[in-house]
Structure 1
Amino acid sequence: MFLCLLLSTPVWAQPSVADRWLGIMLDTAALDVDKFGARPTILSRQMAIVTTCMYDAWAVYDSKARPTQDEPHRNGTRAEQETAIAWAAHEALRDQFPTYQRSLPPDSGAAAELGRRVAHRVLDARHHDGANQLGDEVGGESTPYSDYTMYRPVNPNDRVLDPNCWQALPFADGKGGVRYPQFLTPHWYRVRPFALQSSRQFRPEPPPKYGSAELKADVDECLRLNANLSVEEKALVELMRDGPKSTGQSGHWLHFARMVSRRDHNNLEQDVKLYFVVANVCMDAFIAAWDSKRVYDSSRPFTLIRYYYKGQKVRGWLGPGLGVGEIDGSQWIPYSPATFVTPPFPGYVSGHSCVSGAAAEALKLFTGSDRFEAEEERQAGELTEPGFDCPTIQQVDGQAGGQESCFVRLHLPTFSQAAEMAGRSRVLGGYHIQSDNRAGLKLGREVADYSWPIYRAYFQGR
C-alpha cells in the first residue's frame, strides 16, 4: 500500500514526538492484529487511550489547555514536555498492547515521572469503562474483552430462522476446516464514550425488514454491484477493507491524520490535539455503531442474498482467479478471502461508514477545510486473489478480461469523499447493504459534530 498527499512543497522532515509515538502505536497495533485477529472495536479504544495519555502529558505543560484527568499545570522546557509525552505513550502501550516489547532507558526525572503518572490516571479511569479489558466483569468468561451481556444469536450457524437477524458465517480456518467466529464484543455498547453522553444518543431508526421493498432493493443492488466490480472498484474494496494485517478503521484514519500533519507542517501541539481528537471520535463512533448493531442485530448480505435467492441462478464472484459467473444463490460469496468472509458482527450500521464519517468530519472541523488531496496506489486483487494476473481476475463466464494491468491510483480529494468511498466500498465488496452505509455515515457525522465543541473546550481550558 502506498499513500501520498499531492503536495506542491517538500514533505516535512521533522515529525513531532507525538507523531513518532503514534507510528509506534500503529506498528504495534498491526502486530496485535497478527496475534489476535481483527478486533476493530478494541483497537479503537486502545488507540484512543494512547493518544489521550499523550494529550494529557502535553496539556500539563500548556498554559491554557486542560488535561482530561486532574493534574496541576507546571512550567517546563520543550525537552521535558517531550519526555513526559514519550513516557505517557510508553506506559499506555505497555498496558494496552500485549505485543508491545519496546523499552525506554530508566529515567527518574520529574518529566518522566509526570508522564507515567498522567498515563496511569487515564488507564485507571478506563480499566472499568465497560470494555472488560481486565476480564473481571460479572457474567463474563474471565478473559480480556469477553462478553458479559449474555448475547446469543437468533440464527444457528447452519440455517436461518429469521432473515432479519445476524448469523455467524463460515470462515476457512487455513487448515482445511471451517470455523464460525461469533459476534465480536457484543457488549461494546456499554463502553463509556469519551464525548458522547451515551452509546444510544444518536441511535438511528430501525433498518428495513425482510418482506419490504426497500430491503429487496438494497439486496439486489449489492448483488448487482458485486458481480460487476471494475479493477478500480476492487482496489477500493481492498483499500478500505478491515481484516488480517489491518489496524482497523481507527488506525486507517489516524494514518490519514498523519498525512495531514505532514501536509500542514504541524507542530507538536497540533499533532497532539489532532491525534487525540481523531482517535477519540473514532472510539465513540464505534461505541455508537455497536449500540445499533446490538439493538437491531441485523443480517449481512451473505445471509440475505442466500436466503432470497436459494434455488435461483444469480451472477456472482466464483472465487480467487475464477472471475464472475452464474451460480445458485445459496452459494453466493462476497469479494473477500475465504479466511475472512465478512466481519463477525451484525450489519446495521456499517462500522466502516460510521467511523469514516466521524473521522472525516473531525478532520474537516479540526483543519477548517474538507480538502484532503491524498492518493493511494494499489494493485487490485493483491489481497483477495494474489498470484493471478489482471485478465484472469477480471474474467467473466470464463472469458479473460481485457485490462492488462491492475495497477490503480485512487484519488481522495476531500475527507468527506474519502468517507463516502469507504462506505461505498462495503456495499461493493458485499459486506453491507446501502441502508447500513447511509445510516452509518449519518451517525458518524453526528458523533463528530456533537463532540467537536467538547474537544475545543479542553484546548481552551474550559
Structure 2
Amino acid sequence: MKTSLFSQRKGWAVLVALIFLFTGCHSDRSGSDNTPSVARQWNEALLAAIRVDLARPTVHSRNLFHTSMAMYDAWAVFDGVASTYLLGKTVDGYYCAFNSTNVPFGENKESVRREAISFAAYRLLTHRFKNSPSVSLTQAAFNALLANLGYNAAITTTDYTSGSAAALGNYTAQCVIAYGLQDGANEQRFYVNNAYRPVNDPLAPTSPGNPDIIDLNRWQPLSLASFIDQSGNTLPGSALEFLGAEWGRVSPFALTAVDRTI
C-alpha cells in the first residue's frame, strides 16, 4: 500500500492545521469559555487521523466510540454521581478491575481530570493508528497535542494508585484496548472477515457484460488493477473485501440484540 501525492499533501495540511490549533489552545488550560475542552481537542485529533487513514467507516465508528468511552471514564471517576462505562465493570464478558478509592484527586480536580482524559485518549489513539498509512502524520499530531497541553508522553505507568492522573489515563486506555481485542471486531487480524466469502466472482469492469454472475441479489466485488480510496491511499489491485461483513458480531454500544444481524 502506498499513499498518493494528493493524500500526502492533504495529510500535511491536516497536520499543520492541528499543530496550529493545539499551539493556540495551549495558552489557556484554565478551562475558560474560549478554550476548547481537552475532550474536544482529542476528538478533533481523532477526526483528523480518520481523514488520512484508510476509508473504513465500521472501524472508525468503533474508534470514535472507544475514544469517547475512554475519555468519559477518565472524566466520570472524578464525579460523585456519574457511573463509569468500563472501569470497575464487566462489559460483554470483559472485566476491567478498578479501585475508585485510589483515584488521584489532588488539589485541583479539574486539572487532574484533564490530564487523565488526555493520557487515556493519547494512548488509545496511538495504539489504534499505529498501522495507519499516515502514521507519521497522525502520531506527530498526537504528540504535539499532548506536549502542548503540557504533558509528558514518557509517563507510561498504569499504577494509578500512586496518585498519578497520567497513570489513571494510561490504565483506562489499557482497559479499553484489552476490551477491544475481544469485542468481535478481529482487530488482531486487521479487521478482516473470518468466514465471509462473496457468492459472486469479482467483476472486471474493463470486460463487457457480466457473464459469470451467480446471484444478482448478492454483492459482487470489483476487480481493478489498483484502487484509490476516499483518503487518497493507493491500494493494491485484485478485489477488495466486503467491509464489515461480520460486524454483527461486534459488541455494540446502542444496538440491542434484536437490532443486530449477521
Shared fold, TM over 0.5: yes
Q: Distance in 2 between matches of 1:15 and 1:192?
A: 31
Cα shift at 1:171: 4.7
Within the alignment, does 1:59 sit opposite 2:104 as a pair? no
List per-residue Cα deviations over 1:216-253 (Å, max 9, x = no partner). Answer: xxxxxxxxxxxxxxxxxxxxxxxxxxxxxxxxxxxxxx
- Determine the structure 1 residue equivalent to 2:49: 28
- Determine the structure 1 residue equivalent to 2:188: 134
Cα shift at 1:145: 1.1
- Determine the structure 1 residue equivalent to 2:65: 48
2:125 partner letter: L
Q: Distance in 2 between matches of 1:95 and 1:155?
A: 36
- Determine the structure 2 residue equivalent to 1:119: 173
Within the alignment, does 1:147 sit opposite 2:193 as a pair? yes
Q: Distance in 1 between matches of 2:219 and 2:192?
A: 19
Q: Distance in 2 between matches of 1:121 and 1:180?
A: 36
Structure whose CA Rg is larger: 1
- Determine the structure 1 residue equivalent to 2:15: none
1:163 to 212, 216, 219: 216
Q: Distance in 1 between matches of 2:241 and 2:46?
A: 27
Structure 2: tracts of 5 or more residues without a match: 1-32, 89-97, 147-151, 158-162, 204-211, 228-233
SS at match of 2:127: helix
List per-residue Cα deviations over 1:91-122 (Å, max 9, x = no partner). Answer: 11012112241334234761111111112112
Q: Distance in 1 between matches of 2:110 and 2:202?
A: 57
SS at match of 1:173: strand
SS at match of 1:32: coil
8 Å CA contact 1:57–1:81 kept in 2: the answer is yes
Within the alignment, does 1:180 sit opposite 2:239 as a pair? yes
- Determine the structure 2 residue equivalent to 1:87: 119
Runs ≥4 in structure 1, deviation > 3 angstroms?
Answer: 73-76, 106-109
Q: Distance in 1 between matches of 2:72 and 2:224?
A: 40
2:240 partner letter: P
Q: Distance in 2 between matches of 1:40 and 1:55?
A: 22
8 Å CA contact 1:171–1:181 kept in 2: the answer is no
Cα distance change of structure 1 residues 168 and 113 upon mapping to structure 2, 3 Å threshold: same
- Determine the structure 1 residue equivalent to 2:38: 17
Structure 1: tracts of 5 or more residues without a match: 1-11, 136-143, 203-287, 295-462
Cα shift at 1:169: 2.6
% identity of equivalent residues: 35
Q: Distance in 1 between matches of 2:118 and 2:49?
A: 15
Q: Distance in 2 between matches of 1:132 and 1:120?
A: 17
Cα shift at 1:173: 2.1
List per-residue Cα deviations over 1:411-456 (Å, max 9, x = no partner). Answer: xxxxxxxxxxxxxxxxxxxxxxxxxxxxxxxxxxxxxxxxxxxxxx
1:112 partner letter: A
Cα distance change of structure 1 residues 111 and 178 upon mapping to structure 2, 3 Å threshold: closer
Q: Distance in 1 between matches of 2:237 and 2:175?
A: 43
| 1:183-332 matches, cutoff 5 A | 183-198=242-257, 201-202=258-259, 288=260, 291=261, 294=262
- Determine the structure 2 residue equivalent to 1:324: none
State TM-score, norm by structure 2. 0.61
- Determine the structure 2 residue equivalent to 1:334: none
Cα shift at 1:45: 0.9
Q: Distance in 2 between matches of 1:134 and 1:151?
A: 17
Cα shift at 1:179: 3.9
How many residues end up aligned between the 2 structures? 178
Q: Distance in 1 between matches of 2:253 and 2:215?
A: 35
List per-residue Cα deviations over 1:312-339 (Å, max 9, x = no partner). Answer: xxxxxxxxxxxxxxxxxxxxxxxxxxxx
